[in-house]
Structure 1
Amino acid sequence: MTSEITLFVNPTAGRGRGAHAAQPAASEFRDAGFSVRTVLGSDAADALRRARAAVDGGTGALIAVGGDGLVSLALRAVAGTPTPLGVIAVGTGNDFARALGLPVRDPAAAGRLAARALKDDGARAVDLGRVGDRWFGTVLASGFDSRVNDRGNRTRLPVGRFRYNLAMIAELAALRPVPYRMTLDDGTERETEAILIAVGNGSSYGGGMRICADAELDDGLFDVTVVGACSRTELLRVFPTVYRGTHLRHPKVTTYRTARITLAAPGLTGYADGEALGPLPLTAECVPAAVRVLAARRGLSKGD
């Protein structure tokens, strides 16, 4: 194992926390005896190119310093390679780090844990989802939540999370079920009217909403959550329970476990790790042990 590691940094993550997080994380790696180089990019495509170059060049680890968006880029660089991934979670959602049981918004602690795991060869293999050539670690979202993302992304003002809060209010006003066709890995097709369908490799999205609360990162299967047709009032009543994962007991919620799924529905975009994948239909497969992560043995199953 080379003693050089690469910090893959999003300086704008978490309203600037990414830029401030790089230094304490780097200090922890240097204190542990590693040589540290930093990779940034002028845009997402340039950042991904630089991250892949670091991996191809034999870096000892790629350490993503940012939020789930940067982790999503990092996964595209390291998935299917022996290069381990570390996560310094300083973004807004940090759901992949939560699923791994990693420190959130504590770059020194996260850097210390990753350095210790790397020195002890303590990287753990976990599953990833794949849609075409795109990898994801947490949840593929479609339906109400993806419409909120679509609307929020179309709106320039206001900035930050408030923009998506307004988008959610607007989508609630226009709430309607969507006719889905869902094909699972046994070839069975199911047609259903649903508010949303979420495909979970990890358990949460949106900063701790445990939409697929029972999902595990190392079982080779997705957990699929289907929220059936319901009224705005009922959806608002159920919504707070998503943070505890108890929404899975609601009669309008159905769950499945599958290694592969195709979702088809008119007018919907699929999002994974918060990033747009493209319009449905989309086919996702769960790839076992697709990436090695620098994480403690605990926390590899369900989010905290």
Structure 2
Amino acid sequence: MHRDILLFVNPTAGRGRGAQAAGPAEEALSSAGFTVRKVVGVDADDALDKLRRAAADGDAAVVAVGGDGMVGLALQAVATTSTPLGVVAVGTGNDFARSVGLPVDDPSAAARIVADALKEERVRSVDLGRVGERWFGTILASGFDSRVNDRANRMRWARGRLRYDLALLAELGTLRPVPFRISLDGGPEQDVEATLIAVGNGASYGGGMRMCGGAELDDGQFDITVVGPCSRTTLLRVFPRVYKGTHLDHPVVTVHRAATVRLSAPGVTGYADGEPLGALPLTAETVPGAVGVLV
């Protein structure tokens, strides 16, 4: 059993809730008999470098304190290793935690689950997506949703679902179909006009939007949701259904399943786990059982 825990902290997550949550999480883990070491960087690159060095001996579990961005950063260090990952979700979206059934905005409860899971060696093996050397756990967004994500990241007020809802409304003025080219599992490229294409390892992003509502974390495939060209009126009418995943039966929506997907489109940036991956074209592949999560 792992006795050491690396507490990977984002002090700015959720407008400071990351720093506030680190105390209760550390207390709960220490009370359970674990040695806790904090890992905090001055920026993302520094934090990841420190985490990789701290985890290099392989005898510690990693617990990410923050939102999906912090979980995504931790994945870069623990993916395909024997180091298990715990999550104390206190960020804006927290969709990875939701996907594995972990508490949100309750650091003590989340830390107790981590402690119990370590003691009982209760680790769930889940898939990850990979684009080049970059791993992701939730959804790769491209098109209208990536622009919404970008705007939400720039907002300094509101949080969670409200932040993404407001960002979506603000981006409606730019709504237009994007000329994508898409290839699934190495097949021929197809030209597709779409409002957005979302590649789901998990089911949700943006604080509970189930854009890829049928996605499973352990089936070895992505769920790829294609929202075709639609008017602002149609988008506003369908959008509330995204939180339950019932938008998937709308005529403008199609869903594909594949282990690899290549997307290209002019002027589109891909986002995953709430962070920019880079400009399309991008190729994403599913890596089955890439990380063990403490649940």
TM-score, shorter chain, exceeding 0.5: yes
Partner amino acid, structure 2, of 1:20: Q
Match of 2:116 in 1: 116
Aligned pairs for 1:39-188 (under 5 A) are 39-151=39-151, 159-161=157-159, 167-188=167-188
1:177-206 deviation line (CA, Å, top 9, x unaligned):
011110000513221110000000000000
Aligned sequence identity (%): 67
For 1:158 and 1:38, locate their aligned partners in 2 and report how far apart those are by CA, in whole Å. 26
SS at match of 1:290: strand
8 Å Cα contact 2:58-2:82 kept in structure 1 = no
Tell me the equivalent position of 1:238.
238
- Contact 2:164-2:207 at 8 Å conserved across structures: no
Contact 2:178 2:265 in 1 (8 A): yes
CA distance in 1, matches of 2:6, 2:95: 22
Match of 2:17 in 1: 17
State the alpha-carbon separation in 1 of the partners of residues 106 and 287 from structure 2: 30
Maintained 8 Å contact 1:6/1:60: yes
Deviations 1:136-187 (A, max 9, x none): 000000000112234455x6x7545587666533421121101111000051
Deviation at 1:19, TM superposition (A): 1.0
Distance 1:231 1:101, change over 3 A: same
Aligned position for 1:217: 217
Instruction: Compute the TM-score of the two structures, normalised by the length of structure 2.
Output: 0.95
Which residue type is aligned with residue 290 of structure 1?
Answer: A
**Distance of 1:32 and 1:259 partners within structure 2:** 40
Shift of 1:32: 1.6
CA shift digits 1:36-57 (9 cap, x unpaired): 1111000000000011112103
CA distance in 2, matches of 1:8, 1:115: 15
- The alignment partner of 1:61 has SS state of strand
Partner of 2:282: 282
The 3 A distance-change label for structure 1 pair 152 and 32 is closer
**Counterpart residue number, 1:301:** none
* Residues 262, 281 of structure 1: 8 Å contact kept: yes
Q: Secondary structure at the match of 2:91?
A: coil
Cα pair 2:164 2:206 within 8 Å, conserved: no
Tell me what 1:252 maps to. Answer: 252
Partner Cα distance (1:216, 1:54) in 2:
31
Structure 2 unaligned residues grouped into runs of 5+: none
**Gaps (5+ residues) in structure 1?**
296-304
Query: Counterpart of 2:66 in structure 1: which amino acid?
Result: G
Q: Report the CA distance between 1:209 and its aligned residue.
A: 0.2
Question: Aligned pairs, how many?
Answer: 293
Secondary structure at 1:173's aligned position in 2? helix
**CA distance in structure 2 between the aligned counterparts of 1:92 and 1:150, rounded to whole angstroms:** 13
CA–CA distance in structure 2, aligned partners of residues 2 and 167 of structure 1? 42
What letter matches 1:13 in structure 2?
Answer: A
